[in-house]
Amino acid sequence: MSPLSPLRKASSPSFSPREFRASLAMFATGVTIVTARTPAGVLVGLTANSFNSVSLNPPLVLWSLSQAASSMAALSTGSHYAINILAADQKELAERFASRREDRWTDVAFTEGIGGAPLLDGAAATFECFNRSRYEEGDHVIFVGEVERCSHRAGAAPLLFHGGRFYTEHPL
């Protein structure tokens, strides 16, 4: 195997931001809600589809958040967060936590995970993560979490996101 070649600067993009977003929308993803609790006990949660596995040993996952997000301070300084992979019947939760509404936690059922991070009832899977590292890239921060506990519901169908829309079944 050869050593990594030196990095070079990328060429300027030959496309518009709108074209870039439209192209990214062609990649179907699952939908997650990242949750945490601040040291003062305030619940934090947001819908994210930028979730990916990184490593099996140690068990690492990643997700990203806009640097302008109001939850950035809480999520970047806290010791733990949870990534809740949503089930197909949780579309309303995905929309709720994607909005700017103040009452997003009203009547949301959850149990407390490591570090107080909420584990959403009915999620297809949950990953309880130690906030291992963060990397600023462009207008986002990439979070790498070391998974301390995980669980899943066998047979749970996932909520999907494609082309700017949620799907509870595979889009044909």
Please write the tens of the pLDDT for every residue from 37-90: 998 999 999 999 999 999 999 999 999 999 999 999 999 999 999 999 999 999
Token pair listed for 99: 């909005």
- H helices present in 12-109, as ranges: 17-24, 72-77, 91-98
Section 114-132 average pLDDT: 97
Please write the tens of the pLDDT for every residue from 98-107: 998 888 999 9
Check whether 22 has a pLDDT greater than 60.
Answer: yes
Burial label, 7 (beta-carbon count in 10 A; 0-12, 13-18, 19+):
exposed
pLDDT at position 37 is: 95
Q: Which of 115, 134, 148 is nearest to 36 (CA)?
A: 115
Q: Are 78 and 131 in contact (CB under 8 A)?
A: yes
Mean pLDDT of the chain: 92
| pTM above threshold 0.85 | yes
Check whether 172 has a pLDDT greater than 70.
Answer: no
pLDDT at position 171 is: 57
**Whole-angstrom Cα distance, residue 69 to residue 47?**
12
pLDDT at position 121 is: 98
pLDDT at position 170 is: 64
33-158: what CATH class? mainly beta
Does 6 or 136 have the greater pLDDT score? Answer: 136
